[in-house]
């Protein structure tokens, strides 16, 4: 069986090195800096994770010609893994909650990936348990384990975090982002804190599922974040605080980003911008606050974001 790492096709070289966009909000006279992760080739921040996990597995001889990459995901990771799998020639099988937007299923299938839906009775944990059972039965299965794989946070530390530092000339006072796996917050947080120990690392979470704030997870419309589970990777993040954003506010800001800034992004991007703006207002006009625009809006046509 061939276990050698496969060459990186050109499309995968487009991952990372995304732009950092200044966004000025005149009503409060604050400028935020937003990392445009929706510019990654499959349209989300998760392209970084998919590429680093697959190439790490290749380098450790864990992927073979007959391997099946199997992951439980709210969607974006599935799309990214399907893209990387298509480009490198691996079979990809995605377990996805029934509640994830239908566009995500279509996109995974368009890349040649297989989709299996599950009822998320216990949030992400339901799908994670199912993926482990399937892997125990089938030796061809490789589990990227995005929720616990340390490579996830390491890659954000080495690349996303360092890109932000270089784009901000080393001057960052606060970093604000939502969490799915916690990889972005943990990894970027580590990189930023290594340069400035006083930088504030803040988690955005849906007001309806404020688990870090000690509340019960409930249904919210900020897809991709807070899946009813506080992931192990997030526990290692040194957070300075949590900012709750309601789904309605997130949707309103996401629409505003499209209509006033020309940024066609998904709902978690709007939520991140609200949380970052609140932080900038609180910290003062000199504070340099960075956040993430996680993905593109086109994968939300069937959701409340477009229901108007």
Residues at the contact surface with ligand PLP, assessed by CB under 6 A? 44, 46, 74, 76-77, 178-184, 224-225, 266, 268, 294-295
Of 55 and 157, CB closest to ligand PLP: 157
Give the integer Cα–Cα distance in Å for 296 and 301: 11
Of 64 and 258, CB closest to ligand PLP: 258
Smallest gap from residue 138 Cβ to ligand PLP (A):
25
247 as an active site residue: the answer is no
* Segment (H or E) for 273: helix 267-283
DSSP H helices in 111-263:
124-137, 150-155, 162-167, 183-195, 232-235, 247-261
Please list, in sequence order, all residues whose beta carbon lies within 8 angstroms of the beta carbon of residue 145, skipping any fewer than 6 positions away. 71
Residue nearest ligand PLP, CB atom distance? 224
Beta bridge partners of 287: none
Number of CB atoms found within 10 A of residue 151's CB? 19
Smallest gap from residue 160 Cβ to ligand PLP (A):
9
* Segment (H or E) for 248: helix 247-261
Of 85 and 183, CB closest to ligand PLP: 183
Of 206 and 224, CB closest to ligand PLP: 224
46 as an active site residue: the answer is yes
Smallest gap from residue 96 Cβ to ligand PLP (A):
12
Q: Are 206 and 245 in contact (CB under 8 A)?
A: yes
Rg (CA), the chain: 18
Smallest gap from residue 182 Cβ to ligand PLP (A):
5
| Catalytic residue (choose from 42, 44, 46, 269) | 46
Q: Name the residues annotated as catalytic.
A: 46, 268
């Amino acid at each position: 069986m061939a276990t050698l790492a496969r060459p990186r096709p050109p499309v995968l070289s487009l991952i990372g090195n995304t732009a950092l966009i200044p966004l000025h909000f005149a009503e409060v006279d604050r400028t935020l800096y937003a990392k445009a992760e929706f510019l990654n080739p499959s349209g989300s921040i998760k392209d970084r994770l998919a590429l680093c996990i697959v190439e790490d597995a290749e380098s450790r001889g864990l992927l073979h010609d007959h391997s099946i990459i199997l992951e439980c995901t709210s969607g974006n990771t599935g799309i990214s893994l399907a893209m990387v799998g298509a480009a490198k020639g691996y079979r990809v099988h995605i377990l996805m909650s029934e509640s994830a937007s239908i566009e995500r299923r279509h996109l995974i299938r368009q890349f040649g990936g297989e989709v299996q839906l599950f009822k998320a009775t216990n949030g992400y944990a339901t799908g994670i348990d199912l993926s482990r059972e399937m892997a125990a039965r089938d030796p061809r299965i490789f589990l990227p384990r995005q929720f616990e794989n340390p490579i996830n946070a390491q890659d954000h530390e080495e690349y996303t975090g360092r890109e932000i530092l270089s784009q901000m000339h080393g001057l960052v006072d606060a970093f604000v982002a939502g969490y799915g796996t916690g990889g972005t917050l943990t990894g970027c947080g580590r990189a930023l804190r290594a340069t400035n120990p006083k930088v504030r690392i803040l988690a955005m979470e849906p007001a309806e599922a404020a688990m870090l704030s000690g509340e019960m997870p409930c249904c919210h419309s900020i897809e991709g974040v807070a899946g009813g589970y506080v992931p192990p990777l997030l526990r290692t993040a040194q957070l300075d605080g949590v900012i709750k954003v309601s789904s309605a506010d997130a949707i309103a800001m996401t629409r505003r980003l499209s209509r006033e800034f020309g940024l066609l992004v998904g709902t978690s991007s709007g939520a991140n911008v609200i949380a970052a703006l609140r932080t900038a207002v609180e910290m003062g006009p000199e504070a340099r606050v960075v956040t993430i625009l996680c993905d593109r809006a086109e994968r939300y046509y069937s959701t409340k974001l477009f229901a108007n």
